Every structure is written in C-alpha cells, then in structure tokens.
Amino acid sequence: MARRRSVLRLGLAVPVVLSLTASLGFLPASASAAPRAQSAAQAEDAHSLSYVVNTRTDRHTIAEVQRAITAAGGTVVVSYDDIGVIVAHSAAPDFGRRLRAVRGVQSAGATRTAPLSAAGTTDQGPVRHLSAAGAAGIGKASGDGTEPLEAEQWDLRAIGADEAARINPGSRDVTVAVIDTGVDDTHPDLAANFSPSQSASCASGKADTTYGSWRPVDPDYFHGTHVAGTIAAARNGIGIAGVAPGVRVSGITVSQPTPRQLIYAESVVCAFVFAADHGVQITNNSYYVDPWQYNCLDDPDQKAIVDAVDRAQLYAQRKGTLNVAGAGNANHDLASGGFTDASSPNDSTRVDRTVDPHRCWQLPAQLPGVVTVSATSARNTRAYYSNYGLGVIDVAAPGGDQYQASDTPSGSGGVLSTLPNNQYGYEQGTSMATPHVAGVAALLKSAHPHATPAQLLALLKAQADNPGCPAGPDGSGDAVCAGGKRVNGFYGFGIVNALRAVR
C-alpha cells in the first residue's frame, strides 16, 4: 500500500519522478497511453448507493433474490452466481434492511456511505522530479549486465532478486494480476511482459474487457504501474528490473475514476473472480477496501462487505490463485488490543472509533489464505509505518522507509519503480512490499508449477529469512515485537528471499 491520492490508506509515499531522456532508451511521453474517457456507466444517480447482497448459490434462491431486489427499489448490476454475490444499486433508504429480511439472503449491505456520483477531494502533494543529469549519474553507478537504474534498487539486492534472475527469471506461464488503479502497459519496461487477455477494468463492479480498459484514467494514478514494475519490469536494458522479470503481469483496475481513487467491495469481488476465471496464478493487492479501514462484523453493512470479498477471494484460491496483500500503513498491532481508527469512512464524514482486531478486519489482507505482508526498510528493519501482529503477518519484504537511507547513489530509502508516461519514481509503503512477495511467489510458482496456493504460501514461509525481534520498542513509537526468531509479529516467518526461491 503506498501513498497516492487517497494518501494515508494506500501508503506513505514520497514520490520522486525521473524525467528520462531518449539517450537512456526511453520512449517519448507521446507514445504512452492517453487518459481514457469516463464511461456512461460511471455517471450514476446522485442519490444511489451500491450494495452487495450475499445469498445461497442455488439458482432458485438467486432468482428469487434478484426479484426481491427489484421489488425493493433496486437494480441488479451483476450477479456472481458461483459465489452467491449480487451487486445492486438503489436509492431506497431502507434497501439494505429489506434485503436482509429476504429468504436466502445471508448478508446484505451498502459498500459505501457516499452516493455513486461523489468525486471526493485529493490530498496528494506535488511530485519532486529528478533531473536527467541525476538519472545519468545513477546509470553510471550501475554495473555491467544490469539495468540502467538498477544501482538504485537496493530492494532487489536485499532479497537476492538480482542473483535469482541469473538462475531463473520466472516462467512465461505464470501471470501476476495487479489489482489496483490501473497499469500503463505501454511503459517500455512493462510492455513485453504485459498480458492484455488477463486484464480488465472492474471499477463498476462488472468486468470491462475493452482494449485498454486496464490503463489508468489519469497519469497521476501511478500506484498500479509502480506495483507492476516491481513485480515484472523486464531486463531489457531499459530502466529498472522486476523481482520476476520473466513472468507476465496483468492489470485489473478497481479504483474509481475520481480524484480519490477509492476502491469499493464490488470492484474487488469482480477482480478476484475475473483473475480466477482467466488463469491468473497470483494477485497483488496493495490497497484496502474502502470506505472502512477495518470492516467490523457487528455492523450489517461491513459484515456484508467482508462476506462478499471473502467469497470472491476464496473462489480464486479454489481455482488455483494465490492472493497477496499489504498489511497496511497505520503502525497498528493487528493481533492484540484495541486501537483507534480515525480514517473511516473515507468517502464521507470520518469518525473516531475503537477497533477490536478480533472482530474488525482490514480487507483483503486479513482474510483466510491471503498472504499478509509487512514492510521493511533498506536496513532490514520494520518500516516505521507498517502494521504488524503475531499470527497475522505471514512474511515481510522491502517497502521502503524515508528515515532509513539506502546505500544507493541517491541514498533514497524509497522503492524505485515504473510510473505512467514512461517515467520512474520512488514510493514507500506496504504497497511496495507486497509486489516483492508477489514476485517471489511467481518465481516459486515457476519452479513448482503444480503447487497449490496453500503450498505456495508454505514455500514462501519456508524460504524467508527472519531477523528476529529487536530488543524492546523498535523506534517507531511504542510498537513491540511479539514472538521469536522463527516467527514473530514484525516479520511473520521472515523477509522473503528470491534467490532461495529459484535454487
């Protein structure tokens, strides 16, 4: 999760864009994807909300519930019959309550607190550019046989991904889907590895496979493109390298085409189902499901969100897809005690609430079978912002930390990756840690093509390096690491290791 337009929820980024010249082998900006026009389906009734209605999966029940939706003043947008999730729109104030009383409905609730047409505001700061001379200096520091900007990629070296690429860069039979704000597949570091047939936009809650639908609607929607580069930027003599430069990457857009780029449950349900049905082996989820940072089971709307997203991600697991997700950037202990969530709902008026981590979950990171990832710094310590928790965190990976300098030419503690319009930039967050784990999982899947999602998770844990708990608080407030050398709350089973994954 990285800081972007809805800054605090997706991370804590200090973006630095590299303005790159033709001498470094980059395409001009005019060759990149143009912003896509907003579709008519995205211009909804200003008074309507979106709902998920979760039912039994037999055809009779689904048909009866669909009729009940219409009778209650709603419209069915799409029905995912295999998992019993129906997405509906309604302006009726009692729609959720009426649907919960319908026979065969197991949960139902609004996926947002603001109308479908709400645009929100932006709080992203200006981008700091690095000069062409600075980029050239990085190129001089990169050694023979490396990518021009690889000297800046402390994160690859931290997990042995640079050495792993010499042994096995990953299989073309493995695809990692980036469920995010969109991926600019025209970027020269991504184009060769991009899979259009496994890409779509799920922003409306229903898959749109129109060519280019997966691209960001605006160049400022850089989050998904940054994530994609960390996973699978090609080793092609241009820019950077990904953790698994030989695998394929796809894009499934789930963010709303508004300045805040919020990601709602119906879009995530669509994305998991689409990925599973299109042969994706791994999904990368560097976000949490809006508008609630944590969805609490004692609230009927939030319970319905948990149910719908869980059904979809379990469906993907059953079809062979491993789902990897960031733990979040609030410095919260997700395993014990209560804490205050002051950020929800983030699509309307926020209120302070005390969260019980045993009853309130961040989605999709805390769902069963999802690989939950914490973030580390350039010094292999827990990043100051990263959520943690014994029994919650599975593995850790480089996410960057602005307070921990790297040994790179710039000294930046952020993670360098691709951005739209053929650019590059630094970000930090569990959003950046997650694609490192997805990349290592792709290498493991390449080496073990018949491994199930559960077996891949076991392999991820087995090959990780655990630095153990630091003594006392780690300098990031009062965060205390519970556990031991084998498994603990900061790193789970350890920091992933790409080199071990291919040996």
Tens of pLDDT, residue by residue over 408-447, are 999 999 999 999 999 999 999 999 999 999 999 999 999 9
Kindly state the DSSP code that residue 370 receives in the 8-state scheme: P
Question: 23 in a domain, yes or no?
Answer: no
Domain that holds residue 289: 128-502
Q: Which of 110, 136, 165 is the C-terminal boundary of a domain?
A: 110
- pLDDT computed for residue 45 by the predictor: 55
Number of domains in the chain: 2
Could you tell me what percentage of the chain is helix, strand and coil, using 3-state DSSP and rounding each to the nearest 5? 30, 20, 50
Same domain membership, residue 315 and residue 215 = yes
Token pair for residue 475? 């300098």
Cα separation values, 132 from 230, 264, 391, 414, 417, Å:
22, 39, 45, 19, 16
Tens of pLDDT, residue by residue over 119-151, are 443 333 333 334 566 666 676 666 667 999 999
Same domain membership, residue 134 and residue 85 = no
Same domain membership, residue 470 and residue 341 = yes
Of residues 290 and 136, which shows the higher confidence score?
290
CATH number at residue 54: 3.30.70.920
- pLDDT computed for residue 126 by the predictor: 34
Reported pTM = 0.91
Same domain membership, residue 170 and residue 85 = no
- pLDDT computed for residue 33 by the predictor: 35
How would residue 118 be classed by pLDDT, with cut points 50, 70 and 90? low
Question: 121 in a domain, yes or no?
Answer: no
How would residue 117 be classed by pLDDT, with cut points 50, 70 and 90? confident
Same domain membership, residue 320 and residue 454 = yes
Same domain membership, residue 71 and residue 154 = no
Torsion angle in degrees (nearest 10) through CA of 125, 221, 142, 192: -170
Q: Is the pLDDT of residue 234 over 60?
A: yes
Same domain membership, residue 87 and residue 181 = no
Same domain membership, residue 65 and residue 132 = no
The gap from C-alpha 154 to its chain's centroid, in whole angstroms, comes to 21
Tens of pLDDT, residue by residue over 319-329, are 999 999 999 99
Same domain membership, residue 402 and residue 351 = yes
Token pair for residue 208? 């749109």
CATH number at residue 269: 3.40.50.200
Q: Is the pLDDT of residue 22 over 50?
A: no
Q: What is the mean pLDDT of the chain?
A: 88
- pLDDT computed for residue 219 by the predictor: 84
Same domain membership, residue 157 and residue 100 = no
**For residues 12-16, average pLDDT:** 44
Question: 448 in a domain, yes or no?
Answer: yes
Q: Which of 57, 76, 110 is the C-terminal boundary of a domain?
A: 110
| Secondary structure element (H or E) that encloses residue 84, with its range | none
Question: 39 in a domain, yes or no?
Answer: no
Q: Which of 110, 138, 160 is the C-terminal boundary of a domain?
A: 110
Same domain membership, residue 376 and residue 252 = yes
- Are residues 451 and 394 in contact, defined by beta-carbon separation less than 8 angstroms? no
**For residues 186-190, average pLDDT:** 97
